[in-house]
Amino acid sequence: MAQRRVLHDEFFKKAKAEGYLARSAYKLKEIQERHRILRSGMRVVDLGCAPGSWLQVASEIVGPKGLVIGIDLQDVRPGLAANVRTIAGDIFTTDAAALLPEPDAKFNAVISDMAPSTSGHGDDALSVRLCRRVLELLPSLLAPGGACVMKVLEGGGYPDLLRDCQRLFAKAKGLKPKASRDLSREIFIVAEGYRPVTAAKPTSVAKAAPKPGPGWGS
């Protein structure tokens, strides 16, 4: 018998009790605990930020002297901290310059919990395409030495994607947080030490946007 998906698990209940917009907050929290990719005063951009839980976590870490900017197809719930700004838009059509807080002020970290509208067929390929769009945007968004965290569904395209990240960064590895559901194929690539000058061009790029759901965020 197939394992039944548990919707209201411990992380769902914990998020509700602690005021986070989604259980996915604890995925970023664990990544942060293990890798310390975010620090006080940093500029961070969240690609596919809905429903906003990663914005909340990043906002807490970077503090009042930092800045977090998020973009998603749907408007994100109001009431976020003063150091958070959001934009309604599609990462495949929005000019990267529109995300920068000011000209030439690149981000110290790019984070993404994006997911395509899933159907059960070819979802991993659509997820990889989203990640490749993130890689395309890095030269315009990420400062040298910066970090990138992005979600991908494991499948045939994952090994090549990870290798391309390892060329672009001093180190890159996959991590599955405890808050990820047991049945989920999601894994997060955590990449540190961006090297835009010496980086090799990724083996392939996103040519078209996968079909979105209500928002790019999970």
- Strand bridging mode 186-194 / 169-175: antiparallel
Q: How far apart are CA 141 and CA 138, in angstroms?
A: 5
201-131-113 Cα angle (round to 5): 145
Tell me which residue has tokens 């599609």.
Answer: 90
Can 151 be counted among the known catalytic residues?
yes
Tell me which residue has tokens 């405890």.
Answer: 178
The single residue of 27, 29, 106, 151 carrying the catalytic annotation is: 151
Neighbouring C-alpha atoms within 13 Å toward the C-beta of 166:
8
Alpha carbon distance, N-terminus to C-terminus of the chain: 27
Active site residues: 151
